[in-house]
Amino acid sequence: MLTRRNFATVLAAPALASGAKSAPNVLFIASDDLNTSLGCYGHPLVKSPNIDRLAARGVRFDRAYCNFPLCGPSRTSLLSGRRPDSTGIVDNSIAVRERLIPDVVTLPQMFRQAGRHSVRIGKMYHMDVPAGVGKNLFDDPPSWDEADSPPGREHNIEGERRNVTPKAGSGNNFEWVSFTGDGRHQADRVGADRAIEYIHQRGQKPFFMGLGFVRPHVPLVAPARFFDLYPLSQIQPVTNPPGDRDDIPKASEIVINTRANDMGMNDADKREALRGYYASISYMDSLVGEVLDALNRSKQAERTVIVFWSDHGWHLGEHHRWQKRSLFEESSRVPLIVSAPGMPRGKASRGLVELVDLYPTLAELGGIVPPAGFEGQSFVPLLQRPERPWKTAVFTQMNSPKEGIVGRAVRTATHRYIRWEGPYPDEELYDLERDPREFTNLARLPEHDGLKAKLRATLAAGWSAARAKV
């Protein structure tokens, strides 16, 4: 744990590698289970002024996608620079080196080897929430010089509360808790405080900081003032047309599991769930703002690469689904903002990017030659010119090992094609320009067989064939 006592040890670390003193810092901020419900992404209700101002000083990626819509596999993929088939990790509660990549050099480890001080505060690799908060069960010690898992009271704090999905288990149910005070006993609050202290104590010595917030992961816990931002009368649950689920394959319905059928919620319950989610986002946003302010005060902001990301998207009632484990847009699309020294500010890019691309991108921004074996593409050229053409496709998969189901999706600028393998083989095809909410599965219609075959070939060719030409 980072404390005043061991800051002295940190600052007395061995001399940095040659050239590291002029290298940029990296502030790598993760939010858990966050979709694009943010002001800078055009959400009509959610108030996220601090993430919005980060977008105003960097590039907002409007078409960024995870490689696996589940916490553990997604984070392993991002932090290792490998796709889920290469990591062998397609479920939670597995450490990064346990399967196919025991000798991998992870993203923070790469910076550590290049002479930057590598520190983790909060959730970077998988951490069960709420039960695992404050623990290091699935962390990766070679990634960090210092690792800190701040404890928190989570939903056990005193306050107004209700569980609107009582049949769902812990870590899956939509229980909201509105408490008074500043949250000094919450892990995210403690983590932000420790990050701020670290930034000021570190001085001008280069660092890589992985700062992981657990909000808005359920349970939905936030100070009452953030719940007050969202009167229930202003919140409208999404609507789905009759028969929407009639053309969704059985395999897709199986992998979503208990998160289908609106999780048993009526409209009033849904409003409460949405309010809790929005309040948790605004709470997390306020903490991000405090850390950004501390970075500005330290005079290091102009030499720091700042990345804000989420591990996957999050359904909020689309197709009567909630949470993750889906290959639809809402579950696979993620917020991604990158602010880097010398790069354009306040721009948006519609280029297709993937979380696995962050590994080579940050290596290039940090002046590091990455180890061989990474499976993404640096999007530094897209940071330099956000409007330029980029990848032709991005790839997301969803495995359900228990049932032997594997779903693979390819997303192009205009379409999404999904192929399900295993006991219930099937296909999906959606025109995202005419049908952005993916209500009509065109794979069922013979007149789209030609397009389906083309996208099937794109999926088979894989990520290397979809790389951008630079």
Question: What is the three-state SS of 407-457?
Answer: EEEEECCCEEEEEEECCCCEEEEEECCCCCCCCCCHHHCHHHHHHHHHHHH
> Bigger pLDDT: 283 or 17?
283
pLDDT in tens, 221-263: 999 999 999 999 999 999 999 999 999 999 999 999 999 999 9
Q: Could you say which of 40, 66, 71, 155 is catalytic?
A: 71
Query: Does residue 432 lie within any of the structural domains?
Result: no
Considering the entire predicted model, what is its pTM? 0.95
Q: Which residues contact 72 (CB under 8 A, 6 or more apart)?
A: 89, 91, 92, 93, 94, 125, 126, 138
- Write phi, then psi, for 424 (nearest 5 degrees): -130, 65
CB 81 within 8 A of CB 75: no
Reading the block at residue 296, the tokens are 């500005």
Query: Does residue 367 lie within any of the structural domains?
Result: yes
3-state SS assignment for residue 304: strand
Reading the block at residue 312, the tokens are 């996957």
Query: Does residue 466 lie within any of the structural domains?
Result: no
Residue 126 known to be catalytic = yes
Q: Rounded distance, CA 443 to CA 90, Å? A: 26
Query: Does residue 281 lie within any of the structural domains?
Result: yes
Residue 40 known to be catalytic = no
The pLDDT of residue 204: 80
Binned at pLDDT 50, 70 and 90, residue 203 comes out as confident
Residue 104: Cβ within 10 Å count: 23
From residue 146, alpha-carbon distances to 101, 196, 204, 288, 403 in Å are 22, 15, 18, 20, 39
CB 427 within 8 A of CB 452: yes
The pLDDT of residue 182: 85
pLDDT in tens, 331-372: 999 999 999 999 999 999 999 999 999 999 999 999 999 999
Query: Does residue 60 lie within any of the structural domains?
Result: yes
- Write phi, then psi, for 353 (nearest 5 degrees): -135, 160
CB 364 within 8 A of CB 405: no
Reading the block at residue 44, the tokens are 């009509």
- Domains in the chain: how many in total? 1
Provide the H-helix boundaries in 343-408.
358-365, 380-384
Average pLDDT of span 319-335: 98
Query: Does residue 404 lie within any of the structural domains?
Result: no
Angle between helices 267-297 and 49-56 (to 10 degrees): 50
CB 178 within 8 A of CB 222: yes
Mean pLDDT score of the chain, rounded to an integer?
94
Place of tokens 């289908």: 260
Query: Does residue 43 lie within any of the structural domains?
Result: yes
Question: What is the three-state SS of 7-76?
Answer: HHHHHCCCCCCCCHHHCCEEEEEEECCCCCCCHHHCCCCCCCHHHHHHHHCCEEEEEEECCCCCHHHHHH
CB 208 within 8 A of CB 108: yes
Q: Which DSSP symbol is given to 286?
A: H
Q: Rounded distance, CA 392 to CA 413, Å? A: 7
The pLDDT of residue 16: 32
Is residue 10 pLDDT above 70, yes or no? no
- Write phi, then psi, for 450 (nearest 5 degrees): -65, -45
Q: Could you say which of 66, 117, 126, 312 is catalytic?
A: 126
Query: Does residue 229 lie within any of the structural domains?
Result: yes
Cis ω for the linkage preceding 425 (within 30 of 0)? no
Q: What angle is formed at CA 31 by the lines to CA 152 and CA 259, rounded to 5 degrees? A: 90
Reading the block at residue 450, the tokens are 């030609």
CATH number of the domain to which 175 belongs: 3.40.720.10
Is residue 272 pLDDT above 90, yes or no? yes
What range defines the domain where residue 376 resides? 4-389
Closest CA to 174 of 283, 245, 266, 92: 266
Q: Which DSSP symbol is given to 116?
A: P
Least confident of 168-182, 210-224, 319-333: 168-182
Dihedral angle of Cα 461, 467, 468, 470, to the nearest 10 degrees: -130
- For β-strands 207-213 and 394-400, DSSP reports them as unpaired
pLDDT in tens, 39-76: 999 999 999 999 999 999 999 999 999 999 999 999 99
CB 345 within 8 A of CB 404: no
